[in-house]
Amino acid sequence: MTFIEEYYNKIKNKEVEVSHKVAVVYKKLVYEISHPTEVTYYDEIAEEYETRTYIFDEKKAKRPIEFIERFCKHSKGKWAGHPVILELWQKALVEAMYGFVDKDTGLRKYKKVILFIGRKNGKSTLASALGLYHMVGAGEGGAECYSVAVKKDQAKIVWEEARRMVKKSPALRKRIKGLVNGLFYDAKDSYFKALASASDSLDGLNAYFVSADETHAWKDKNLMDVMYDSMSAREEPMLFETSTMGTIREGVFDNEYEYLSKIIDGYENKEGGIVDDTVLPIIYELDKKEYWTDEKKWFQANPGLITIKRIDDIRTKVNRAKNNPSELTNLLCKDFNVRMNSEEKWLTFDIVNNTETFDMEEIRDCYAVGGVDLSATTDLTCATVIVEKGKKKYVLQQYFIPEANLENKIKEDKIPYDVWERRKLITLCEGARVNYSDVTEWFRSLYEKYDLHILWVGYDPWNTQYWLEEMITNGFEMVEVRQGARTLSNPMKQLEADLIQKNINYNNNPILKWCLGNTAIKRDDNDNIRPVKGKQQRQRIDGAVSLIIAYCVLMEKYIDYSNISEE
C-alpha cells in the first residue's frame, strides 16, 4: 500500500482530521494510482494537441523519502542530530509530488506543488530536505536550487536549515561544501542558494528546484513569475511553494489561493472549477472559522499537531484569544490558516469598560506626561494627560470641536456631542476649525488649577508646526511620535494589558470609551500593530490615538519619569 492510500484511508475512516480541500485532493490521487489518466496539452511550437498518459511509479515516489530519512538530520531542539523521519502526511505529499509520471518519458507530472499549512508544522524542514534531494539525488546534473522570498532573511530560513542538515549528516558533509554564498555539490556541479526579490542575480537563472517561502507576504508576482520562468529549460523542475495564511489581501497569495481552490473545485466537478494537471494543491485550513475553539478541528490546519507542533501552545493561545480579541486574528491566520484582513477589532467592551472615577485632588501636585491627536475640521482633536501613582494610571482627556460644525457632527455621527460639551468634556472652538491655542490653554490650566507638572507632551509632527512652537514657548517639552506600527505597537500592547488588568482609571470618560471601542488595528508581518478606523468612518478613534501617543511618551521616558516622581 502506498503512503497516499494509507493516508486517505485514515482520512476516510475519520482517524485523522483534515480540511475538506485536502480530503478531496487525496481522494483524487488514490483514484489515479489505479486509474492512469490521460491529459491533453496544446503544443504551441508544433501547433497541435498532444495526449499524455500518467501512471503512478511507486519506486520513484519513494526515492526522495528514502533520501531524506537516510541522509537528512534534524538540527535543532531535542531531535538535533537524529534522522528526519517524515510523518505519514508528509510521506503522502512527497509520494504525490514525485510518483505520478508520464508513461512514455518517465517525467514527473507535477511541476508546481503548493502547501498552505499552519505555522510550526515542519514545512521549512521538508523544503530544506527536498532542496538537498534535488541538488544531490534527483538525477539531473548542474542542478540550480534556490530558496526564495521577498526578503533575504526569510529566504535564508530554508537554506540555513539545509546547511545545518549538511553539517549534522556525515554522508552529506563529505560531499557538500557549505560556503557563505551557498551549498555546492561538485560531483554534479549543483548548488543551493538563497535569493530575495532585491537580488541582483535573478536574471539568467536555470532553476531546477525552487522553494518559495511565506508567499502570504509577497505583494507582487514578479518574483514568482521570474522563478517559474527560470525553470522552463528543465525537463523535471519543481517549484515548492509553502506558506501560512496572511493579512495582505489582493496580492500574490490571494491569487494563488483562489487558483488552487478552483483546481480543487474542478476535482469535484463544481461550477467554475478548472483543470491544471501541472499543479498539486494542498491546503490545510479550518473549514469554518468558528472551529477555532474546537480542539478536534485544530488538526484540519495542523497535520503535525502533537507530533511536531505542541498542542499545549495552541491551547494557551486559544484561551488568551477568548479574552483578548486583538490576538484572535493572528491565531486564526497563523495557527489555523484562515485568511484574514489586516484590520481587526482591537478591544472588546469588557476590556474597555471601567466605571471607576477619581477626584482631581487625588492627583494634585503630581508629575504627568501628555499626548495630542490634532485635527482641523472633521475628526476630533484630543489632548491626553497620564499620571502614574502607585499601581494606577490616571487619565485626563479633553476634546475639541469647531463650534460651527457641532450641529452637523451630531447629525452625521449620531453622537451626543452637545451633551458631552455640557459635561465639559468637549471644548467648542470659535469658527469652523479647531483653534490649537485652546489645546495649549487646557494643558496650562492643569498646572494652574491642580499643580500638575506635565514633563513631556507627545505629538504627531504632521501639520503641527505653529502649535509646536506655541507649546515650546509656554514651557512644554515636546516629543515627536511617528504614526507607524514600529513606534506604536509596544505602547499599544502595554495599554491593552493595563486596560485588561483595570490599571487605568480614565474617570469613566464616555468619549474615550467610545473611541477605544471603535478602534481597529492593522497588523504587519512582524506582528506589529497600529490603530486604524474600522469600516464605519464616522466612528472616531481620536481619543484612543491621543492616549496611545501619551503611552509612547510614558514608555520612552519611563525611567526618567519614575525617578522624578519618586523625588
Domain boundary among 317, 337, 363: 317
Q: 382: domain CATH number?
A: 3.30.420.240
Round to whole Å and give the CA distance between 470 and 449: 20
For residue 376, the model assigns a pLDDT of: 64
Buried b (16+ CB within 10 A) or exposed e, 334-347: bbbbbbbebbbebb
Q: 499 and 388 share a domain? A: yes
Same domain flag for 278 and 393: no
Confidence of residue 535 (pLDDT cuts 50, 70, 90): low
The pLDDT, as a whole number, for residue 523 is 82
Is residue 503 located within the same domain as residue 382?
Answer: yes
Q: Indicate whether 454 belongs to any domain.
A: yes
Q: What is the pLDDT of residues 318-356, one digit of tens each?
A: 998 887 777 888 899 899 998 876 567 788 788 888 989
Q: Which residue has the cell 530536505?
A: 129
Q: How many CA atoms lie within 13 A of 546 on its CB side?
A: 29
Q: What confidence tier does 45 reach under pLDDT thresholds 50, 70, 90? A: low
In terms of domains, do 156 and 291 share one?
A: yes
In a domain, residue 342? The reply is no
Q: Taking residues 142-157, what's their average pLDDT?
A: 88
pLDDT for res 200: 54
Same domain, 359 and 508: yes
In a domain, residue 96? The reply is yes
Give DSSP secondary structure letters for 276-300. Answer: -TTEEEEE---SSGGGGG-GGGGGG
Q: What is the mean pLDDT of residues 61-65?
A: 96
Residue 338 placed within a domain: no
Mean pLDDT to the nearest integer, 245-256: 70
Answer yes or no: is 330 within a domain: no
Average pLDDT over residues 507-516: 92
**DSSP symbols for 111-134:** SEEEEE--TTSSHHHHHHHHHHHH
SS (H, E, C) 491-544: HHHHHHHHHHCCCEECCCCHHHHHHHHHEEEEECCCCCEEEEECCCCCCCCHHH
pLDDT > 90? residue 40: no
User: Which of 365, 357, 364, 359 has the alpha carbon at shortest distance from 510?
Assistant: 357
Residue 249 clears pLDDT 60, i.e. is over it = no
Residue pair 114/282 in contact by the 8 Å Cβ criterion: yes
What is the DSSP code string of 393-455? EEEEEEEEEEGGGHHHHHHHH---HHHHHHTTSEEEESSSS--HHHHHHHHHHHHHHH--EEE
The stretch 303-312 carries a mean pLDDT of 94
- pLDDT tens digits, one per residue of 370-405: 999 998 666 789 999 999 998 899 999 999 999 988
Supply the mean pLDDT for the chain.
Answer: 90
Residue 485: inside a domain = yes
- Phi then psi for residue 444, to 5 deg, are -60, -40
CB atoms within 10 A of CB 86: 21
159-169, pLDDT tens digit by residue? 999 999 999 99
Domain boundary among 277, 299, 317: 317
Asked whether the beta carbons of 333 and 247 are under 8 A apart, the reply is: yes
Domain count, the chain: 2
Q: What's the CATH code of the domain at 160?
A: 3.40.50.300
211 shares a domain with 354: no
pLDDT exceeds cutoff 90 at 566:
no
pTM listed for this prediction: 0.69
Q: Looking at residue 201, what is its pLDDT?
A: 60
Residue 297 banded pLDDT, cuts 50, 70, 90: very high
Task: State residue 71's pLDDT score.
Answer: 93
Domain assignment present for residue 463? The answer is yes
217 and 363 inside one domain:
no
Asked whether residue 277 falls in the same domain as residue 371, the answer is no
Q: Is the dihedral of CA 552, 556, 558, 561 positive or negative?
A: negative
The last residue of one of the domains, among 317, 341, 358, is 317
Give the strand pairing for 48-56 and 100-102: antiparallel
Q: Is the pLDDT of residue 49 over 80?
A: no
pLDDT of res. 144: 92
Cell numbers for 353, please give them: 469598560
3-class secondary structure, 30: helix
Tell me the per-residue pLDDT of 182-235, one tens digit each, with 9 for 90 and over: 999 999 999 999 988 765 567 778 999 999 988 887 776 778 888 888 888 898
**Mean pLDDT calculated for residue range 120-145:** 91
Per-residue pLDDT, 224: 83
Q: Quick check: 51 pLDDT over 90?
A: no
Mean pLDDT of 537-560: 92
* CA distance linking residue 249 with residue 266, whole number of Å: 24
Question: Could you report the per-residue pLDDT of 490-503, keeping only the tens digit for each?
Answer: 999 999 999 999 99
Domain hosting 534: range is 349-566
Reported as a single tens digit per residue, the pLDDT across 186-199 is 999 999 999 887 65
Residue with cell 479633553: 398
